[in-house]
Structure formats: C-alpha cells, structure tokens
Amino acid sequence: MSDEEPLTCPQCDGRLTVGAMVLSKREEDGQRVCRVVSACDSRHIWWRWSDGLYGGLEPCPYPKLLTG
Ligand SMILES: [Zn+2]
C-alpha cells in the first residue's frame, strides 16, 4: 500500500492534492499522528490520518492550514 494513492473529493469527485501535514493528537488512541490535509480544485478541504487508521477523509475545519 502507498501513501500516494490518488484520492477523490467526496463532495465533487474531483482530484485531491495534498497541501499540508499537521501533527495532532488523536483522541481515539492518545497517539500523536500526522494529519494529511488535501484539497480539490473546487477548494473543498479534507484531512485524514497519515497512517490510514480511524476512518478516511473528514472535512477539515481549518482551511487556513492550506492558505497560510
Ligand atoms: Zn471537491
């Protein structure tokens, strides 16, 4: 399995491009894990855990992670 597999936007089915990595603490298991922030051409912003655990893409509540 590869981290580089192409992902599509659940909202518009557009291609997602990885824009940022954010280290955060995961409440489910108390681990510090990177989140991968991705955006499609329509600026829908999603993130997921870099290790692929605990579900897939979720809406990212911090869109400024990509612009700042
Ligand atoms: Zn989209």
Look at residue 63 in the predicted model and tell me its pLDDT.
83
What is the overall mean pLDDT for the chain? 89
Alpha-carbon distances, residue 59 vs 1, 39, 52 (angstroms): 23, 10, 15
Look at residue 68 in the predicted model and tell me its pLDDT.
54
Condensed to tens digits (0 to 9), the pLDDT of residues 4-32 reads: 566 899 999 999 999 999 999 999 999 99
pTM of the model: 0.83
Measured in Å, residue 27 CA sits from the centre of ligand 1 at 27
Measured in Å, residue 30 CA sits from the centre of ligand 1 at 30
Measured in Å, residue 54 CA sits from the centre of ligand 1 at 22
- Asked if 46 contacts 67 with a C-beta cutoff of 8 angstroms, the reply is no
Measured in Å, residue 20 CA sits from the centre of ligand 1 at 17
Alpha-carbon distances, residue 14 vs 24, 31, 42, 51 (angstroms): 26, 31, 8, 23
For 2, the token pair is 């590869």
Measured in Å, residue 13 CA sits from the centre of ligand 1 at 6
* Cα–Cα distance for residue pair 44/41, rounded to 1 Å: 8
